[in-house]
Structure 1
Amino acid sequence: MHALTRTARMTGLFYLGMAITAALGFLILRPRLYAADDPGATLANLVTHGSLARASVALELAMVVMQALTAVCFYRLFRTVNSLAASGIAAFGLVNAVVGLVSAAMLGTALQVSVDPVGDPAATVQVLYLVSLNMWGVGALFFGLWLIPMGWCVLRSGWMPRVLGWILVVGGVGYVLSPFVLYLARDAQVLFDAMAYPASVGEFWMIGYLLIRGVRRKALDEAPTTVHTPTPVAS
């Protein structure tokens, strides 16, 4: 397998791992633990379902690991296309990992408070979950900033469909704008949710393309090859 294809598939694998851990944590476990309008219910859920709460923290940490590895692999994949844009993907992706790390710390603290109460445990746990949610809300800024150079590299390289590149750019812009909509127009929840659709389409398309296709043949033909010549032996 060509080195570039191997890098693309590894990037796709880590990206898929990030998507799976995020989906399990946000769409399955978090709704079972966090009751938005009832702090007492959130505390009771953590006490009753302690194993799920621990799994939620573990999934958040796994997502951090997958995000960091994906960011590094994208840099390795696109560094020959444009080193600045590739560095941007890596840097913004690592900021996303830090956001996840802080969120995981909040969830872990909430779990600890449910076991060893401090002050008003129900109120404390609810605030910690709210901070975690808002970390991801404001973190959408860097999710957008990570997608924009990714889309630009797709467009610049020609290694993947141009439509994919444009969807990633548009999705990235939507992500960057979404926190402003969230906090400046609190009644525009439908718009806020809709702004994530292009990014979701682009990300899942990117994951599938990396895993199935890797990169176009053009990329393999243009990839530099190292020719080793024998070193003369002095007589």
Structure 2
Amino acid sequence: MSSLVVPPLQKLQYGPLDFRRWTQGTASLVSGVGLAAMAALMIAGYFGGIVPLVTAGDAAGTAADISGSPALFLGGVACIFVVTLLDIVVAAAWYALFKPVNRRLSAVAAWIRVIFAGLFMLAAGHLVSAFSLLGQPDLALQAIRQFNSMWLISLGLFGIYLLLIGYLAVRSGFMARVFGILLAIAGLGYVADAVGTAFSLDFPVVFGSSGFVGEVAVIFWLLIKGRRLAA
């Protein structure tokens, strides 16, 4: 009677999508491409597809404009949903990039960005509701306002994320400290806008834009220098 032979366990094979095994160069390239794509999608989708069709205080006009250009509006909404998914990809990539600095803090930061992405996706759901309520213009405009307020408030969470990433960047040694400082400034701006919006929906959202230069500069660093980081 032959004995039962149990084959030895094989080591788990990690595929290219396993961000835990990404090198810092790969993480930089993925995050750089992801951030550039997010910027392009937000410009085309939100500023090109949503903003031109919405008139503050004019529910009937807004409903008429959206009804007249449904493909433009829904295309803008689709772009925003893709951005929320890319947020998760970038969160994973930046975890891989900064985990050599502080693995635990990088993980905390990554989860904060994932939670923000989920809230942003929920906020975008209000735009879908607005489209379905075009026959009731007041409710449709209210849904669009709910999207704006929920998005702006959730950006406070994104601001906290940038503060953590800014700290990690300053401590990293492989990224110039100025990038970490610029990211932290952007984070403070988002937090300020979120707090202001939470207390008043008419709050002028201006502080978050202060970090635009830093965020763009980091994208160029990721794509040019960061992708050359050694394993």
Shorter-chain TM-score bucket reads 0.7 to 0.9
Secondary structure of the residue aligned to 1:81 is coil
1:177 deviates by 2.0
1:92 deviates by 1.6
2:159 pairs with 1:132? no
Instruction: Tell me, yes or no, if the aligned pair for 1:167 and 1:198 is still in contact at 8 Å.
Output: no
Distance 2:148 2:126 in 1: 10
- Structure 2 partner of 1:231: none
1:186 deviates by 7.0
Distance 1:46 1:86 in 2: 41
1:111 deviates by 1.3
Q: Which runs of 4+ in 1 moved over 3 A?
A: 182-188
Q: TM-score, normalised by structure 1?
A: 0.82
List gaps (5 residues or longer) in structure 2.
Answer: 1-21
Distance 2:78 2:139 in 1: 21
Which string of whole-angstrom CA distances, capped at 9 and with x for unpartnered residues, describes residues 110-157 of structure 1?
Answer: 11222xx4xxx1011001100000011101211201101111111111
Instruction: Tell me, yes or no, if the aligned pair for 2:152 and 2:194 is still in contact at 8 Å.
Output: yes
Instruction: Specify which of 24, 46, 64 is matched with residue 84 of structure 2.
Output: 64
The residue type equivalent to 1:152 in the other structure is: Y
1:80 deviates by 1.6
- Structure 1 partner of 2:211: 199
In the TM superposition, what are the counterparts of 1:41-52 in structure 2 within 5 Å? 41-52=61-72
Distance 1:197 1:158 in 2: 27
The residue type equivalent to 2:214 in the other structure is: G
2:105 pairs with 1:103? no
Instruction: Tell me, yes or no, if the aligned pair for 1:170 and 1:198 is still in contact at 8 Å.
Output: yes
Instruction: Tell me, yes or no, if the aligned pair for 1:61 and 1:104 is still in contact at 8 Å.
Output: yes
- Structure 2 partner of 1:12: 32
1:13 deviates by 0.7
Distance 2:148 2:201 in 1: 15
2:225 pairs with 1:213? yes
Distance 1:122 1:187 in 2: 21
Distance 2:67 2:200 in 1: 35
1:183 deviates by 4.6
The residue type equivalent to 1:82 in the other structure is: N
In the TM superposition, what are the counterparts of 1:165-204 in structure 2 within 5 Å? 165-184=180-199, 189=204, 192-193=205-206, 195-204=207-216
Distance 1:34 1:187 in 2: 16
Instruction: Specify which of 138, 143, 148 is matched with residue 163 of structure 2.
Output: 148
Secondary structure of the residue aligned to 2:210 is helix
- Structure 1 partner of 2:5: none
Distance 1:187 1:98 in 2: 25
Q: Percent identity?
A: 25
The more displaced of 73-82 and 177-186 is 177-186
